[in-house]
Amino acid sequence: MPNFLYEEPIKSLAARLVAQHLGGVAPKATLERIMRLVVCELRRDERNASPASADDISEVAPDWAKAAVLRGVQLHWFAPCPLAVARIKRTMKSLYVAYCDTRAQNETDLALMAAAHRLFQNLDHMTFGDLEAKAKAQSRMRARVARRRAEAAIKTLGFCEAETLDVVGGKRWRRLCSVAELGEVGKKMRNCTAFDRPQNRHYGQMLMDGDAEFWILETQDGEPLIELMASTTEKSVLECLGPGNRAVDPNAPELAALMRAKGFYFRRATRPSELRRYVLEQAAAVQREVNARLNRTG
């Protein structure tokens, strides 16, 4: 560790860096604890040390410095390295936001708030490196919370116009406009649009991108009977299944009414086994094309 001739410039810079980002926000005791960590880090980082020669030690230098020079000890001037100072500034900015996390805005912030409280309660047991790592972890946690909020908000957004179509027997077709609606219907129907597996999330993406439209046939009591997915551009029916992925009679009058009204048509059979075979065939065709291209370039 460098032997600095004067400590005052180190303490002065540390106080400015802490006050610049946390002054007027955190309590005085917290600021002092953080400043001690910053002082230790500035003192420890050799990039902030500039060797002082024996000629630099004047008569007004402290007695301990004169004695150290006589013993051959290398003393240093404090010359803050811009990279070292920038690192501390980044950590102070993260700490400012972390301190804001100690004030929960709603119930979804409770875990974030608890983590921030632990960070500031354990300052006396940290090095600056620990503080930097904890501040980064808090930032990552905040980003995850923000991402979950954004995803939840997106799920409730409507990505198309709400439409309904009344059919025989008091039943009604209803177009699903949000990812949240699609997921709820999937749970009731016990099918893939429930998003219970990562590989099923493409259904929601297709709705958001406008690649497919989803319709649900319901009874007067809101019980789902048929879920239909059709291509937005081609109007071909991609899937049409009942609860638990049961097959649907393609000649059912309720289904025929929606097909006529929206211009949908069946391009392929809608049984799960046949749909799976179709998907596998398409995947195999794509793989063959990829292999052919690799052979040509090889």
Mind listing the pLDDT tens digit for each residue in 214-271? 999 999 998 999 999 999 988 999 999 999 888 888 889 999 999 999 999 987 554 5
Flag whether pLDDT at 207 surpasses 70.
yes
Q: What average pLDDT does this structure show over 45-59?
A: 82
Alpha helices in 190-262 (DSSP H): 202-209, 253-262
Q: What average pLDDT does this structure show over 268-294?
A: 65
DSSP 8-state symbol, 280: H
User: Per residue in 133-183, pLDDT tens?
Assistant: 999 999 999 888 888 877 777 777 888 889 999 998 899 999 999 988 998
Residue 271 is encoded by which pair of tokens? Answer: 């049984």
Structural domains of the chain, with CATH: 8-153 (no CATH), 164-267 (3.40.630.30)
Pairwise pLDDT comparison (283 vs 201), residue with the higher score: 201
Task: Give me the pLDDT at residue 270, please.
Answer: 47
Residue 74 is encoded by which pair of tokens? Answer: 């290398």
DSSP-derived 3-state class of residue 16: helix
Q: What percent of the chain has pLDDT over 70?
A: 89
C-alpha distances (whole Å) from 122 to each of 15, 97, 134 are 20, 17, 10
Q: pLDDT band for position 107 (50/70/90)?
A: low
Task: Give me the pLDDT at residue 117, please.
Answer: 92
Flag whether pLDDT at 43 surpasses 90.
yes
Q: pLDDT band for position 198 (50/70/90)?
A: low
Residue 17 is encoded by which pair of tokens? Answer: 């860096």
Task: Give me the pLDDT at residue 280, please.
Answer: 66
Cβ distance 131 to 123 under 8 Å? Answer: yes
Pairwise pLDDT comparison (115 vs 107), residue with the higher score: 115
Task: Give me the pLDDT at residue 155, please.
Answer: 76
Flag whether pLDDT at 298 surpasses 70.
no
User: Per residue in 19-40, pLDDT tens?
Assistant: 999 988 889 999 999 999 999 9
Sheet hosting strand 265-266, strand order edge to edge: 164-166, 172-176, 212-218, 224-231, 236-241, 265-266
Task: Give me the pLDDT at residue 102, please.
Answer: 87
Q: What average pLDDT does this structure show over 54-71?
A: 75
Q: pLDDT band for position 109 (50/70/90)?
A: confident
Q: Considering only CA atoms, which of 152, 171, 183 is closest in space to residue 254? A: 171
Q: What average pLDDT does this structure show over 43-54?
A: 89
Task: Give me the pLDDT at residue 195, please.
Answer: 65
Q: pLDDT band for position 104 (50/70/90)?
A: low
Flag whether pLDDT at 275 surpasses 60.
no
